Chains A and B, each alone.
Chain A
Amino acid sequence: MSYLFTTADEQQQMLQRIGVDSVQTLLDQIPADLQLKQPLDLPRALTELELEQHLRELSTRNASASSRACFMGGGAYDHYIPSVVDEITSRGEFYTAYTPYQAEASQGTLQAFFEFQSMIAELSGLDVANASLYDGGSGAAEAVLMAIRCTGRLGRVVVVGSTNPEYVHTLQTYLVNKSTELVVVPTPDGTVNLADLEAVVNDQTACILVQHPNFFGCLEDVASIGKLAHQHGALLVQSFDPLSVGLLKRPGELGADIAVAEGQSLGTPLQFGGPYLGILTCRQQFVRKMPGRLIGQTVDRQGKRCFFLNLQAREQHIRREGATSNICTNQGLMALRATVYLSLLGPLGLKEVAELSCRKAHYAADRLCQVEGCERMFAGPFFKEFVLKFALGADVAIRKAAAAGIDIGPALSRLPAMEGVSEADRDLCLLVAVTESRTKAEIDRLVTALS
């Protein structure tokens, strides 16, 4: 089954018109010795019914947040997704359209992305947002490359050690063939010590990258870090949780020049890590250094408001090796999901999600810390996620919870090593994240499971 509908007689007519007697003749331009002599070795073709039976069988062998209570964090979260999000993004007019290069045939997409940019810029407290990058990790790497372009400083990039280790790993990959030195400042207390940061920031530093709330869920002193960066002529890049700004100050208020985020929380399901949504915003002055697509408002020939892909001269299809990034395909449909999600939430909904997540996380931490052998690894304030230290080992905690139908984690030992967390602690520590979707009953059940 190949979704074809040319019948044999039509095929004959077409071949006749082309002036050849078989499709094989059309393949003659491929040298015969390079053509496969036998069919590919692929599994046999399935009908729709068989495929569905097969996928359902595979699906039942996976633990999912729909059948268990998900307290997992570390960069992806089980926030509630209202039905309207799926309903709208399931429309073929959106999901089977191409990149909106042909503006007249894409006004729906273009306006939705313009609205996305507007709301995301508002969430970050900065002036402009692009129309999406791949995800939080590659987004953070793109933001750092952008900071290097903005400052013209190739010497050094400073990263606060409490940043998501997968983001740091990604950034390492992106910088490996370049002269820029990557300095990661350890955070043994859960947040960075300003003096440690000050010791490594110099006048060759392009930026400081900080995550707030950080990977451990703790709050960094972003405003002071920003001042430090600016004193040295460096930029402040903040990775943030887009739902946290229902309560917390926005990156722009804290002095960030560029903000990046994993936008999965904004209406995109977990789906084992992707597709997610890379968010990047910045101050107006840096707009021409941004990676990725930008939708702009303009007027058409009749003077009517409309939208188009603006500032394309930054992009790979025009500027080639001089482009601000190689990105072409982005995460458009996830940006649409975020746009619908944020339209449904509004300011009050956003605040409720942030407050509920924060309160429930604190209730969970409070109750868990009353369990013998349980404590929070870091004492400082946190938002919706915290590092739990379990004396019997993180794996034991995960197993005990799993037996009660609850998923917690990841264990820090599953992640790339983070400077400042000792080997011994890595084996005992795990993340616990609490969203508005979790109930008091589930939290209490988790407490019982670990007791």
Chain B
Amino acid sequence: MRNRQATQLLSELSHGGRRAAVFPPSDVPEWPIEDLLPPEALSAAPPALPELAEPDVVRHFVNLSTLNMSVDTHFYPLGSCTMKYNPKRHERLSRLPGIVDVHPHQSAQNIQGLLELLYEMQEMLAEISGLPGVSLQPAAGAHGELTALYVAAAYFRAKGEHRTKVIFPASAHGTNPASAAMAGFECVELKETEDGFVDLEQLKLHVDDQTAVFMITNPNTLGLFERDIPEIARIVHAAGGLVYIDGANMNAIMGITRPGDFGGDMMHYNVHKTFTGPHGAGGPGSGPICVRDFLAEYLPGPVIRVRPGDDRRFELVTPTHSIGRVRSFFGNVGILVRGYCYLRTLGAAGVRAAAEHAILNANYLKELLSDVLPSAHGEHCLHEFVASAAGLAKERGINAMDIAKRLLDYGFHPPTVYFPLVVPHAMMFEPTETESKATLDAFSEAIHQIVQEETETLRSAPLTLSVSRPEEVNATRKPVLTWTACTKE
């Protein structure tokens, strides 16, 4: 039974005079603050935060947590997001004091253990990508894209070339064009072929001496391997451009094929996806990038290297023609440690097995759903597939969102819907390797039941959760973004 009292807003639970955290009395002389700081700098009163007792706080957040679906509680086949199991050992090990309590300005000689771990992480990422230059600095996948585009810009500047265009297929994640625009490039979007691949003729038409980078997700957002990738790379390279691999879908190919081997010059990983970060309700992630050797000198610094002449000493260095920083400090180390633990647990065979089982699960689910939610693209998929609810929409007026919302009532997190845009009524499923056949069977059964239900039932779903279909139109017109809610706009 839900505790509605505890999930009121903190501002409503607040009661003047209550408190949780109490700090020890000052053990240094109690000089009046007015003697230490100029009066004009001082605030009349501290900010009006809620006043709560510790049990209030605990009960509030624990009850809030129960309103979430998560990988720990539910099957979460959200396409493109790789919602795999987050091993508990990672949480314990990333909290060891010699990792979690290390100050970022601590000198290299005092943190050799941590630098060794991060150096080995660089090495493993280089090996899995086939690209030797690694920066662990980017905080997330999109940040990695942006960083790599700055690296590309610096490379062309050093060569005396002024290249202005970044090209990507229409099915690209929104972060690709957004990163390109942010890095100061002009965006060019390519139409795909009917079967969902990069159209080589279109590519040839647009690639020229103004092309800086071609960005491509491989396998693509349909879960299909871009077979023509060597030819794509040849075309881009012939024009002097660079090929960027968006590593969002690395879970499909790790240990099977490598971006560096199929023509990529730069790529990012999403450690929080592929190497089970975890997702943290939206972050933090970690988006390290790997690049070819001739681009390594432009990477942001610092990076870790073995001190010349002493293979057990690690040091932090900034590459010679570094683009500079893209954030403060070294990177999202807490997430990188979890990724390290994952790769050390799997080893080479485990990495490949994870990818193979992700592919097996996706193909099995695709087959189970094919009679009600067919996929138009490809006989087999890799780690994910995009089905279409267009038939159901036409015959019965059921749309993808209705099915998604109804799945919540059946205890499943829905797939990604309406992405990629190239598929009408798209439903994108990524079951990941850490799900059993029994779960996939049960999920398929739920979908088969749902599509038999009354249209009205589906339209009003979800019926069993704490809330159902938030009103968005008025809320967008007059956004209420804080509890003191200024709706003045």
Tell which of B20, B40, B57, B285 has the most Cβ of chain A within 10 Å: B57
Whether A344 is near chain B, meaning CB under 8 Å from some CB there, is yes
Q: In the complex the two chains form, is B481's CB within 8 Å of A344's CB?
A: no
Interface residue? A41 (CB, 8 A): yes
Interface membership of A238, Cβ < 8 A? no
28 A-B interface contacts by CB (under 8 A):
A18-B360, A20-B363, A23-B356, A23-B359, A36-B257, A42-B128, A42-B351, A45-B347, A58-B113, A65-B102, A87-B58, A91-B62, A98-B76, A102-B414, A104-B405, A145-B182, A173-B300, A223-B40, A245-B43, A273-B329, A287-B489, A297-B481, A306-B466, A308-B470, A311-B476, A326-B142, A340-B57, A407-B106
- Is B349 within 8 A of A45, CB to CB? yes
Minimum C-beta distance from A387 to chain B (A): 14
Whether A18 pairs with B475 at a CB distance below 8 angstroms is no
Chain B residues with Cβ below 8 Å from A41 are 127, 348
List the B side residues contacting A389 at CB < 8 Å. none
For B300, what are the chain A residues with a Cβ–Cβ distance below 8 Å? 173
Are A95 and B41 in contact (CB-based, < 8 A)?
no
A299 contacts B by Cβ under 8 Å:
yes
CB of B345 to closest CB in A, whole Å = 5
What chain A residues lie within 8 Å of B31 (beta carbons)?
Answer: 359, 362-363
Question: What are the residues of chain B within 8 A of A307 when measuring CB–CB?
Answer: 470
Q: How far is the CA of A134 from the CA of B327 in the complex (A)?
A: 8
Contacts of A105 in B (CB 8 A): 68-69, 408, 413, 465
Interface positions of A from 28 to 66, Cβ below 8 Å from B? 28-31, 34-36, 39-48, 51-52, 54-66
Q: How far is the CB of A195 from chain B (nearest CB, A)?
A: 20
- In the complex, A265 Cα to B378 Cα: how many Å? 50
Instruction: Flag if A274 contacts B468 (CB, 8 Å).
Output: no
Q: Of A3, A18, A114, A443, which one neighbours B367 at CB under 8 angstroms?
A: A18
Question: Shortest beta-carbon distance, B405 to chain A, in Å?
Answer: 7
Q: A35-B256, A93-B73 are in contact. Are A440 and B27 (CB under 8 A)?
A: yes
* Contact residues, A153-173 vs B (CB, 8 A): 164, 166-167, 169-170, 172-173
How many Cβ-Cβ contacts under 8 Å join chain A to chain B? 709
Beyond contacts A118-B11, A173-B300, A270-B101: 18 other A-B pairs, Cβ-Cβ < 8 A, are A23-B359, A31-B230, A39-B352, A45-B349, A80-B23, A107-B67, A118-B483, A119-B50, A145-B182, A272-B102, A295-B481, A297-B485, A310-B476, A329-B141, A347-B48, A347-B49, A349-B19, A407-B106
Partner of B87, one of A3, A42, A70, A348: A3
Q: How far is the CA of A98 from the CA of B64 in the complex (A)?
A: 15
CA distance A27 to B252 in the complex (A): 10
Q: Which residue of A lies closest to B218 (CB)?
A: A30
Chain B hits for A6, CB < 8 A: 357, 360-361, 436-437
Q: Counting CB contacts under 8 A, is A429 at the interface?
A: no
CA–CA, A362 and B36, complex, Å: 8
Asked if A287 and B479 sit within 8 Å, CB to CB, the answer is yes
Interface residue A410 (Cβ < 8 Å from any Cβ of B): yes
Chain B residues with CB under 8 A of A125: 47
Whether A422 is near chain B, meaning CB under 8 Å from some CB there, is: no
Q: Quick one: which of A2, A127, A169, A170 contacts B350, CB cutoff 8 A?
A: A2
Selecting from B173-181, B203-211, B445-453, the interface stretch reads B173-181
Contact status B360-A88, CB under 8 Å: no
CB distance from B486 to the nearest CB of A (A): 5
CB neighbours of A13 from chain B (8 A): 437
Q: Once the chains bind, are A42 and B328 in contact (CB under 8 Å)?
A: no
Q: Which residues of A contact B442 (CB under 8 A)?
A: none
| Partner-contacting stretch, out of B236-244, B288-296, B318-326 | B318-326
Return the 8 tightest CB-CB contacts between A and B, nearest first.
A273-B329, A45-B347, A92-B72, A59-B98, A177-B184, A61-B113, A332-B282, A137-B328
Does A331 have its Cβ within 8 Å of any Cβ on chain B?
yes
Given A97-B70, A269-B100; A172-B281 close (CB under 8 Å):
no
Partner of B329, one of A14, A76, A82: A76
- A299 lies within 8 A of B181 (CB): no
Q: Is B84 an interface residue (CB 8 A)?
A: yes
User: Shortest distance in angstroms between A77's beta carbon and chain B's nearest beta carbon?
Assistant: 9
**Which A residues touch B330, using CB under 8 A?**
272-274
Q: In chain A, residues 113-156, which have Cβ atoms closer than 8 Å to a Cβ of chain B?
A: 113-115, 117-119, 121-123, 125, 127-129, 131-132, 134-138, 145
User: Residue B429 at the A interface, CB < 8 A?
Assistant: no
Q: A44-B347, A273-B104, A321-B180 are in contact. Are A346 and B19 (CB under 8 A)?
A: yes
A358 interface neighbour in B36, B178, B329, Cβ under 8 Å:
B36
Q: Are B346 and A35 in contact (CB under 8 A)?
A: no
Q: A311-B479, A327-B142 are in contact. Are A34 and B282 (CB under 8 A)?
A: no
- Cβ A332 vs Cβ B281 within 8 A: yes
- Complex: how many Å from CA A129 to CA B47? 15
Residues of B close to A271: CB separation below 8 A: 94, 99-102, 333-334
**B410 interfacial contact with A, CB 8 Å:** no
Give the secondary structure class of B's interface: loop
Q: Are B37 and A219 in contact (CB under 8 A)?
A: yes
Whether B433 is near chain A, meaning CB under 8 Å from some CB there, is yes
Q: Which residue of chain A lies nearest to B478 when distances are taken between CB atoms in the complex?
A: A296
Interface bits B94-110 vs A (CB < 8 Å: 1, else 0): 11111111111111001
* B425 beta carbon closer than 8 Å to chain A: no
Which among A74, A87, A329 has the highest number of chain B CB atoms within 10 Å? A329
Given contacts A43-B120, A102-B408, A321-B180, are A331 and B283 in contact (CB under 8 A)? yes
A348 to B50, CA, bound (A): 10
From B284, B341, B466, contact of A274 by CB (8 A):
B284
CA of A5 to CA of B435 in the docked complex: distance in angstroms? 7
Report A-chain residues with C-beta under 8 Å of the C-beta of B216. none
Chain A residue at minimum C-beta to C-beta distance from B300: A173
Does A381 count as interface, using CB distance less than 8 angstroms? yes
Binds B, one of A200-208, A246-254, A371-379: A246-254
User: Is A57 a contact of B113 with CB atoms below 8 Å?
Assistant: yes
Q: How far is the CA of A129 from the CA of B482 in the complex (A)?
A: 8
CB contact between A298 and one of B36, B95, B349, B472 (< 8 Å): that residue: B472
Complex interface: chain B residues within 8 A of A352 (CB): 22-23
Taking A176-B153, A326-B175, A329-B141 as contacts, is the C-beta distance between A4 and B113 under 8 angstroms? Answer: no
B66 interface residue per 8 A CB criterion: yes
Residue A323 is within 8 A (CB to CB) of chain B in the complex? yes
Q: What separation, in Å, do the CA atoms of A347 and B483 have in the docked complex?
A: 16
When each residue 456-489 of chain B gets 1 if its CB lies under 8 Å from chain A and 0 otherwise, what string results? 0000101001111111101110011111111011
Return the contact of B262 from the options A10, A34, A63, A342 (Cβ within 8 A).
Answer: A34
CB contact list, A269-289 vs B, under 8 A: 269-276, 284-285, 287
B283 touches A176 (CB 8 A): no
Residues of B within 8 A of A20 (CB): 363, 380
Is there a chain B Cβ closer than 8 Å to A1's Cβ?
Answer: yes
Which one of A97, A284, A296 contacts B475 once the chains associate, using CB atoms below 8 Å? A296
Task: Determine if B345 and A1 form an interchain contact, defined as CB atoms under 8 angstroms apart.
Answer: yes
Q: Establish whether residues A176 and B323, one from each chain, have CB atoms under 8 Å apart when the complex forms.
A: yes
Report chain B residues within 8 Å CB of A306: 466-467, 470
A167-208: CB near B (< 8 Å → 1, else 0) gives 101101110111000000000000000000000000000000
Q: Which of B47, B224, B335, B470 contacts A29 (CB 8 A)?
A: B224
Do residues B69 and A106 form an inter-chain contact, with CB atoms below 8 A? Answer: yes
- Asked if A72 is at the interface of the complex by the 8 Å CB criterion, the answer is yes
> Does B245 reach chain A (CB closer than 8 Å)?
no
> Closest approach, in angstroms, between the C-beta of B359 and any C-beta of chain A?
5
Task: Give chain B nearest CB distance to A314 CB in angstroms.
Answer: 11
